[in-house]
């Protein structure tokens, strides 16, 4: 079946602009994660959604970052007033459910470049 | 705070060689450990998932071991091939939290030369 998909695959924006990144999880997966992969920093957790529960936002680096998940499926990560340090690859992952038993499956990522 | 370290950062081997990639983590209170492969410009492909109660998992030429008490895991690749060239990432899911996030190492860049 289809894996996790993300769009756009690449995004170039100017400093100060807002951007929206989209993630389509695997159908039927109730858990969804956003991670960020920066040069030299490795992969860092941003936010976690499980079903209709309130998301765990503990990894978001600033209040310029927000995410929502509509209908328990598609998720959008929004970065307001982008800064150059936001340049990174943003990866989305989904799993059948939240919990230790379930593998996380990753999408191809969105490469964000802030000029 | 959980920290994951991978050694070596880069490894270059001739085709056919067996090799070991190392991963260590500071907090042994984990649910599981997962090994991923990342090709340039691509997302992550899950290779093996080891639950905290398990000692090892095998898939084809790959074997991953877990020693939770000492905070270590190894990924063994047998009879390496040029197609194995990629970055290998180790990630742990710590227990005690409610978000089931993965904490990643910075990866080992593997090059297998024909």
Each residue of B58-106: pLDDT tens digit?
Answer: 999 999 999 999 999 999 999 999 999 999 999 999 887 777 889 999 9
Say if CB B64 and CB B73 are below 8 A apart: yes
Question: pLDDT at position A1, please?
Answer: 55
Neighbouring CB atoms inside 10 A of A96's CB total 15
Question: pLDDT at position B99, please?
Answer: 76
CB–CB contact A104 B89 (8 Å):
no
Lowest mean pLDDT among A51-60, A75-84, A106-115: A51-60
Place of tokens 């936010």: A47
Place of tokens 């991963």: B23
- Indicate if the alpha-carbon torsion angle A80, A86, A91, A94 is positive or negative: negative
Neighbouring CB atoms inside 10 A of A94's CB total 27
Q: Does A7 touch chain B (CB under 8 A)?
A: no
For residue B52, which residues of chain A lie inside 8 Å, CB to CB? 100
Distance of CA B110 to the CA centre of its chain: 12
Q: Which two tokens stand for residue A25?
A: 């999880």
Place of tokens 């090799």: B19
Mutation for testing the B interface, residue in A43, A91, A96 having most B CBs under 10 Å: A43
Residue B51 C-alpha, separation from nearest chain A C-alpha, in angstroms: 7
Q: Across the interface, which of B43, B100, B101 has its CB nearest the CB of A106?
A: B43
Question: Model confidence over A44-63: pLDDT tens digits?
Answer: 999 999 988 888 999 999 99
Neighbouring CB atoms inside 10 A of B82's CB total 10
Q: In whole numbers, what is the pLDDT of chain A averaged over residues?
A: 93
């Amino acid at each position: 079946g289809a894996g996790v998909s993300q769009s756009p695959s690449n995004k170039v924006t100017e400093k100060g602009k807002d951007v929206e990144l989209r993630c389509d999880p695997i159908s039927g997966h109730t858990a969804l994660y956003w991670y960020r992969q920066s040069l030299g920093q490795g992969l860092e957790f941003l936010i976690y959604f499980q079903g209709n529960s309130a998301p765990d936002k503990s990894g978001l680096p600033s209040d310029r970052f927000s995410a929502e998940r509509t209908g328990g499926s598609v998720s959008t990560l929004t970065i307001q007033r982008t800064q150059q340090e936001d340049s990174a690859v943003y990866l989305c992952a989904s799993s059948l459910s939240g919990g230790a038993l379930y593998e996380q499956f990753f999408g191809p990522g969105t490469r964000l470049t802030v000029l | 705070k959980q920290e994951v370290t991978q050694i070596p950062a880069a490894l270059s081997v001739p085709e056919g060689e067996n090799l070991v990639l190392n991963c260590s983590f500071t907090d042994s209170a984990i649910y599981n450990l997962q090994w991923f492969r990342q090709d340039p410009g691509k997302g992550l492909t899950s290779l093996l998932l080891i639950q905290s109660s398990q000692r090892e998992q095998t898939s084809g030429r790959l074997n991953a071991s877990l020693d939770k008490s000492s905070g270590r895991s190894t990924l063994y690749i047998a009879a390496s091939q040029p197609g194995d060239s990629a970055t290998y990432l180790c990630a742990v899911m710590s227990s005690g939290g409610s978000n089931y996030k993965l904490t990643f190492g910075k990866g080992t860049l593997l090059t297998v030369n024909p």
